[in-house]
Amino acid sequence: MRKFKKTVCVLLSVLTLLCALSITSCAAERAKTYLVLGDSIGVGAGIQNPKEANYGRIIANTNGFLYYNDAVNGHTTAKLLRRMAEKDVIGHIKEADIISVTIGGNDFLKGNLPALAAQGLVGNYGAIDDVVENVRQNFDTAVATIRRYNKDAVILMQTLYNPIESAPLLGSVYAEGIARLNAVFTDYAENHPGEIEIVDVAAAFAGKSGLIAVDTIHPNAEGNLLIAKTVQEKLYTLGLAETAEITVEVQPDNWVETGNGSSILERIVEFFRNLAIRLRRITF
């Protein structure tokens, strides 16, 4: 009888150990949660099938992440802050292990870009600096908001690329504004070690043609693939991914030129055209 009881005790101990190991293994294998916040670049506005094939979805598919995308077309840093106050988004922030953020471009684009460009052409960047300072304050608040709900998530902040890099004159003005915006993010990373990780999309896009959609603003199919690869390489470097290569289950599809709407360059050209008309009407 004693031998039987001893055998039962040993079996129970073994079963208990196996259960504990199983629970530990399941916890270790829990899929990470990946959240995308920000503007139309995060949405995937430059391709026809963003829900299935934007860079965030590619990252999620590559790594088996649970995926949320709370980015919104046209969002500025101020609108991002309001978005982050929504109940569902707060829930996603709390749950996230990794958060990709792309923001700031619309603060520049929607801050009367033609007027900013006109000033920049004569070397006056005061108005651009006002936009940049506003971005700085809002970005500080955005990171603090994320940390209020989630102290452990890895925040991946993407630098902004120049979509009109090769444009004469205006390309250099836009580059100046973009450089000042990107300095907001890199300065934050330098001054707050460990709070955010910079994903240098600007460097990945620099000097490469053919990455921008027909609207001359957003990444096209190839651009989304490059952003995904840049993010994936950062995840691998941080030990959050098993490979630096991406897995593309659904190929992103490019927009087709329709002739509808106006591109960023068209809006700038229209501004200067109207300015010339007004100047011709002035009598001295």
CATH for 226: 3.40.50.1110
Q: Is residue 157 part of a domain?
A: yes
Q: How many domains does the chain have?
A: 1
Q: Are 211 and 223 in contact (CB under 8 A)?
A: yes
Q: Is residue 8 part of a domain?
A: no
User: For residue 103, what are the contacts with CB-CB under 8 A and spacing of at least 6?
Assistant: 37, 38, 39, 75, 76, 77, 80, 139, 142
Q: Is residue 215 part of a domain?
A: yes
Angle of CA points 63, 86, 38, to nearest 5°: 50
Q: Is residue 166 part of a domain?
A: yes
* Residue range of the domain that includes 226: 31-281
Confidence of residue 8 (pLDDT cuts 50, 70, 90): very low
Mean pLDDT of 105-121: 72
pLDDT in tens, 20-31: 444 444 445 689
Q: What pLDDT, on a 0 to 100 scale, did the predictor assign at position 26?
A: 45
What burial class does residue 261 get, using C-beta atoms within 10 Å of its C-beta: 0-12 exposed, 13-18 middle, 19+ buried? exposed
Q: Is residue 192 part of a domain?
A: yes
Q: What pLDDT, on a 0 to 100 scale, did the predictor assign at position 283?
A: 38
Mean pLDDT of 48-56: 97
Confidence of residue 257 (pLDDT cuts 50, 70, 90): low
Q: Is residue 254 part of a domain?
A: yes
Q: Is residue 130 part of a domain?
A: yes
Q: Is residue 5 part of a domain?
A: no
pLDDT in tens, 171-186: 777 888 899 999 999 9
pLDDT at 17 over 80: no
